[in-house]
Amino acid sequence: MQAIANTGRIASCLLALALQAGALMPAGLQAAEAASQGASGSLPQAPATAVYRRLLVKLKPTATDAPLATRTAQLAISDLSQRLQSGVPGQAPVQLLLHKSISAQLHVVLTDRGLSRSEMLQLIGQLQRDPRVEYAEIDQRLQPQFLPDDPLYGSRQWNLQPPSRGNEGGANLPGAWDVARGEVAPGQGVVVAVIDTGLRPHADLAARLLPGYDFVSDADIANDLDGQWDSDPSDPGDWISIRDSESATFSGCALSTSSWHGTMMAGTIAAVMGNNLGLAGIAPGARLLPVRVFGKCGGYLSDVITGVYWAVGLELPSLPDLMRAPPVNPYPARVINLSMAAEGSCSSAFQEAVDRARGKGAVVIAATGNHNGQATDQGLSQPANCQGVIAVTAHTRRGDLASYANASPSTTLSAPGGGPGLQLLANDGDSITSLGNSGLTSPLADSYEQVRGTSIATAHVSGVAALLLGLQPTLSPDQVRTVLTRSARAYPANSYCTMQAICGAGMLDAEAAVRWLQANPAPVAAPDSGKGGNSESGGGGGAAGWPEWLLLLSAALLSGAGRWRGQPGTGPHQAGRQQPARQSSRM
């Protein structure tokens, strides 16, 4: 074991030196100098001062809500800019520039220079006092929420198995597949939008992919040499070199290899079943809509919102460049998977996006966040704390609350996320197997990955939501929530969640969900009780009605270890039996 650990450390140091020297970075991308936060691993680094330049500004509607012309939007923002006052004596007032428009009233605005957080908040205060402004807020960065792992031995898909002694946390898919196959292919025809880093055309996934779109609008993080909206949602990689991580533009972003985060989420949701290759997805009949909103160091709130609007079939305005407006999505999503998190309470702009998506019949599912080992009763991260969102925390193989997972009385339910639990139960700690890529920077060969986190837990719930909608397409978002919570399985007696009412209705149980729907084909949906909230009580005991002061809002940051990459197995459940082709440690 010591020899293996030493080898891993040596390999890690060699990787760090290669990243520092730029040896693993393609020449074109070296010139682009893109930088970001990867989803795992970190090196000690000197903190850089955060610089803010992006705002979300929503103007109040005018008497005539006609389509907004480019000149009209630019004039409106310019007029706002002229009314600003300098907060620093002797310094010119900040100038505002229209970057893009998400809707007729909601705009992404850039400042003419970088501001500190306090300066940006002061600017927002000025804008909020303008009678023409409905709200203004920082265009935050959001980040994928998973924790890569590097076990010495792979595991089977315990996360999809029926519950049993030692595997109390399995999501119980075999019985659900039996029910679904009796009528249609599991999840047949349901479109699930994976709003993430983009996808790779993995052999175990490609048959399920629909044409998607890339909404990463910042060239610094896009890593695809353009930073423009386009119809290529493929994932070019999101690695961080040492030079990247020291940049003020990417303050707080740690050294890492590429995460392939979106591909991992998509694999759990809908990897092809019965193709004698790799692993099985939860809803293999579903279609996956790749919506790229994350690049290096995550992505901006405005790009995520734009992706949500497009995914559900809403028309986007042709601003500020008429050539950049994408066509209306011809495959509106019924399920929106948001395996991501940002600090703070739900943004007004994000809440509006959730409301509009639900208005189009889409179920919005989000990760509660990975609090990185801080206090257990963490408030939910954004967007899981938005009203109407199904907020998913993570449990372990033994059914314990995962040690990294945010949870609060507003949690809806939990799903398999892997890793160790808070109670440190015996024989616990296995990770989740999903799809990936062997490239440390740019994409190379298909691979299978071991991961853990609330991101992958969210993907499990999105897959089961697709199963339910495949069986009964007329279900509303609130009805899907009702089925999931009423059918949730009780937490094991020796788990953390039996002692603390912060874990939602219980553990995801796919077979119980489809059978509950069969017995209740017209479920009565209770109204959402609050932000992110759990308004139903299931097997684990809901927490609705707990006092608001228990909700502690916090950052949901990534932490890291390594991950192993295996080669394709010989059957639908063989991936977990593969020895890793090699190990790479995230430093």
d(CA 124, CA 470): 44
d(CA 453, CA 98): 37
Residue 553 burial by Cβ neighbours in a 10 Å radius (0-12, 13-18, 19+): middle
Residue 268 near residue 456 (C-beta atoms within 8 A): yes
Residue 257 near residue 243 (C-beta atoms within 8 A): no
SS3 label, residue 109: strand
d(CA 314, CA 324): 15
Nearest to 111 by CA among 135, 88, 133, 139: 139
Locate all alpha helices (DSSP H) within 146-186, ordered by sequence. Answer: 173-181
196 labelled catalytic: yes
Q: Which of 196, 218, 238, 303 is catalytic?
A: 196
Q: Which of 107, 202, 261, 395 is catalytic?
A: 261
455 labelled catalytic: yes
Nearest to 419 by CA among 392, 400, 445, 438: 400
List C-alpha distances in Å: 6 to 333, 343, 373, 375: 47, 36, 26, 32
The one-letter code for the residue type at 551 is L
- Give the pair of three-digit tokens for residue 139: 């265009």
SS3 label, residue 148: strand
For residue 489, how many C-alpha atoms fall within 13 Å in the half-sphere facing its CB? 25
Q: Which of 455, 462, 495, 585 is catalytic?
A: 455
SS3 label, residue 160: helix
Query: Tokens 């996006």 — which residue?
Result: 353
Strand-pair category, 191-196 with 287-292: parallel
The one-letter code for the residue type at 520 is N
Residue 328 burial by Cβ neighbours in a 10 Å radius (0-12, 13-18, 19+): exposed
List C-alpha distances in Å: 473 to 171, 188, 506, 528, 574: 22, 10, 25, 21, 32
Residue positions annotated with a catalytic role: 196, 261, 455
